[in-house]
A and B are shown apart, each in its own frame.
Chain A
Amino acid sequence: MKPRLLPKLAVWKFASCDGCQLSLLNCEDELLAVTSAVEIAYFPEASSNRGAGPFDISLVEGSITTPDERDRIQAVRRRSKVLVAIGACACSGGIQALRNFGSDVELARSVYPNPELLSILETSTPISDHVTVDLELRGCPVSKVQLIEALQALLDGRKPTFENCSVCEECKRGGTTCLLVSKRMPCLGPVTVAGCGALCPAFGRGCYGCFGPKESPNMDAMTSSLRNVGLSDADIVRMFRGINANTPAMANAAKDVR
């Protein structure tokens, strides 16, 4: 019998911390099932197998921050049938997009003795600013459940079932008492898209918005709520300039606070 040809999976890294790729490796229960359903054709973090492609599914982690990355993502796209951006860096530019709001030169000087040796772009941008992205998995890091669901759906040839409601809905379904209401704790849950299972509120911390803004986020109302619980304008800007600082909703809201 001819061996069944498995879809080829590639995992790519751009400017990122590797946390999202690690989420895949952390899927202990499902990992064997994944490796028997796909051929891991390129995944430097996990395997020495560095196939040349083309690839059926490319998972892309990280944002575009250097001229080299800008070229490399084009090559990845050319060799991938389906390109999935994984994580806040790939979907919005990540925490490193904070540099989009300040002076690169000054920032670089504060860290590196010879900043002139750096070859970087002025901004950190999401993958979708450069190439067509077929699916985005939000979060810092991505949720294991969504990652497996995305792979499963791609293998089955169906749409993944992701919710686009707020984190508040997940929070309340999970039986967590609202921190904003009961403890006056700053929380971005009302403007953040579901997907994490309201992980932070369940552990007594307000939502950091790592999954990024939900559809039609009411940022003005968020600013008022944060003011109501006693946050200063500077602190509110810090909350908006977080993991998804570069999304239009967060960037504009941070500008409007002042």
Chain B
Amino acid sequence: MSALSTDLVKVLQRSELGWLLAILRDRGYTVVGPTIRDAAIVLDEIASVEDLPIGMTAEEGPGGYRLLPRSDDAVFGFGVGPSTAKRWLLPTSRILWRTRLIDGTLTVLPEVAEAKPVALFGIRACDLQAVDILDRVCAGGCYADSHYVAVRERLFTVAVDCADPPSTCFCTSMGGSPAAESGFDIRLTEIAGPPHRFLVDPGSEAGSAIVDALQAALASEEDLAARASQAGQASQRITKRLDCRGLREILERNAENRTWDEAATRCFACGSCTMVCPTCFCSTTKMSSSMLTGESECERQWDSCFSEQFSFIHGGSVRESTMSRYRQWVTHKLAAWHEQFGVSGCVGCGRCIAWCPAGIDITEVASTIRRSDVAAKRPTVGKEH
């Protein structure tokens, strides 16, 4: 999906940004956007522009995140934080069904979870790409998750271009860019100015309907030129790289590479990386019974390939060692995912790097494996592409 004709792009002045939020709320959307909680910028329900992290940013590095004031009053002057869209699309926990004895018969009561319309306000390009990946996993094929589909169909996205990506980002290596190019209902670009303003660009019919309703001027040539040059500068700020050339094959033939063992000496197998990753979708089901209600229930909950129980089948766990769990995560993400879903499982958001308590960097691990590739030592090097 690409943006509709650029002559529909409108301009909202800084003081008018609230109009967009108001229209979304009027149309029945629960608006979820970036806001400060504890010491981070997280996604949560927001009521007004004042809830946004105005004038704040975050410095991010391996295993580190620091909330800091900016020298200006930018509204979206920060990169991605620990939360992702998956919390709304695939809730951390959801009851799938209950059973109860009714007149002596065990009756299954399916849970129909409500799918209220949500507008993700200020979602980034990498996260839109992640939602596209989740669509393939959860809504594609013959086993679509009906709850996911219901929430997804009602989802409205207001994407914001990243102007100031933190050092952990590498979306440009993963087919993305800091500016939102597709997959949104509305694209917002913040221009520091003066005047401090936002370009509002519809990307879908639902988006056009909202932009049409905005009483705002059309963007000028200069506005569009400012947007393009800002997007170019943001791309250039991204210096972290993940070299994807032949990476699938490299990972597949390096299952015994010592780099995995080295990573495992640092890895806690804590699962934090999978929890913050916008595309990690694994879940488990838990059965329970209650003496209070006499009911039994089946609950689906986020799971992680880093736990021992994750690969437990009759007789034991398939992946006992931390090394085998770490290797499973990276090779699934960067290699096997292609086979399963036709894309990489990584969008380069860098969350797993910043939120890893051990500060392990997936791009470094991948590049160390490339450098020590068993096959690279053979004379056939260079044939790869």
Contact residues of A between 163 and 213, Cβ < 8 Å to B: 163-166, 168-169, 172-178, 180-184, 187, 189-191, 204
Chain B residues with CB under 8 Å of A184's CB are 64
Question: Knowing A181-B354, A190-B357 touch, does A166 contact B301 (C-beta < 8 A)?
Answer: no
Q: Contact at A168–B40, with CB atoms within 8 Å?
A: no
Which of A156, A169, A221 contacts B271, CB < 8 Å?
Answer: A169
| B322 engages A33 (CB within 8 Å) | no
In chain B between 188 and 203, which residues have their CB closer than 8 angstroms to a CB of chain A? none
A30 at the interface (CB under 8 A from B): yes
Given contacts A149-B288, A173-B301, A175-B87, contact A222 B268 (CB under 8 A): yes
Residues of chain B contacted by A187 (CB below 8 angstroms): 357
**CB-contact partner of A173 in B287, B302, B307, B321, under 8 A:** B302
Residue among A30, A164, A169, A204 making CB contact with B292, cutoff 8 Å: A30
For A168, the chain B residues whose CB sits under 8 A away are 268, 270-272, 275, 357
Q: Which residues of B have CB within 8 Å of A149?
A: 288
Residue B78 interfacial (CB < 8 Å): no
Report whether B286 and A218 are in contact in the complex, using a CB–CB cutoff of 8 Å.
no
In the complex, how many residues of chain B place their beta carbon closer than 8 angstroms to a beta carbon of chain A? 47
Say whether A178 contacts B288, CB under 8 Å: no
Interfacial chain B residues near A152, Cβ < 8 Å:
288-291
Contact between A164 and B307 (Cβ–Cβ < 8 Å)? yes
A215 to B291, CA, bound (A): 31
| Complex interface: chain B residues within 8 A of A148 (CB) | 291
B11 → A minimal CB distance (Å): 34
Complex Cα distance, B284 from A164, in Å, reads 13
Residues facing A in B80-95 (CB within 8 A) are 82-83, 87, 92-93
**Interface residue? A47 (CB, 8 A):** no
Contact present for A182 and B307 (CB under 8 Å): no
CB distance from A159 to the nearest CB of B (A): 10
Q: For residue A180, which residue of chain B has the nearest CB?
A: B357
**By the criterion CB–CB under 8 Å, are B288 and A182 in contact?**
no
Which residues of B lie under 8 Å from residue A106 when comparing CB positions? none
Contact B306 A156 (CB under 8 A): no
Q: Mark A144-162, 1 if CB is under 8 A from B, else 0.
A: 0000110110011010010
B355-385 interface with A by 8 A CB criterion: 355, 357-359
Instruction: Tell me the smallest distance from the CB of A209 to a CB of chain B, in Å.
Output: 13
CA separation between A148 and B286, bound complex, in Å?
15
Q: Which A residue's beta carbon lies closest to that of B285?
A: A161
The answer to whether B291 touches A37 (Cβ under 8 A) is yes
Would B304 and A221 count as touching, CB distance under 8 A? no
Please determine whether A182 and B65 come into contact, CB atoms closer than 8 angstroms.
yes
Q: Is B50 in the interface zone, CB < 8 Å from A? A: no
Which residues of B290-343 have CB atoms within 8 Å of chain A's CB atoms? 290-292, 301-302, 304, 306-309, 320-322
* Contact of A225 with B by CB under 8 A: yes
Indicate whether B26 reaches chain A with its CB closer than 8 angstroms. no
Q: How far is the CB of A142 from chain B (nearest CB, A)?
A: 17
Tell whether A114 is near chain B: CB-to-CB under 8 Å: no
Indicate whether A166 sits within 8 Å of B309 (C-beta atoms), given known contacts A177-B40, A225-B357: no
Q: Which B253-296 residues have C-beta < 8 A from chain A?
A: 265-272, 275-276, 286-292
Of chain A, the residue at the smallest CB distance from B293 is A33
Q: For A215, what are the chain B residues with a Cβ–Cβ distance below 8 Å?
A: 308
CA distance in complex: A178, B65 (Å): 9
CB interface residues, A 208-235, toward B, < 8 Å: 215-218, 220-222, 224-225, 228
**Interchain CB contact under 8 A, B270 and A182:** no
A-B contact pairs, 25 of them (CB 8 A): A33-B292, A148-B291, A152-B290, A166-B270, A166-B307, A169-B271, A169-B272, A172-B271, A172-B272, A172-B275, A173-B301, A173-B302, A175-B83, A177-B39, A178-B272, A180-B63, A181-B63, A181-B355, A183-B39, A189-B357, A216-B269, A216-B321, A218-B266, A218-B267, A218-B268
Cβ-closest 3 pairs across A and B:
A172-B275, A190-B268, A165-B307
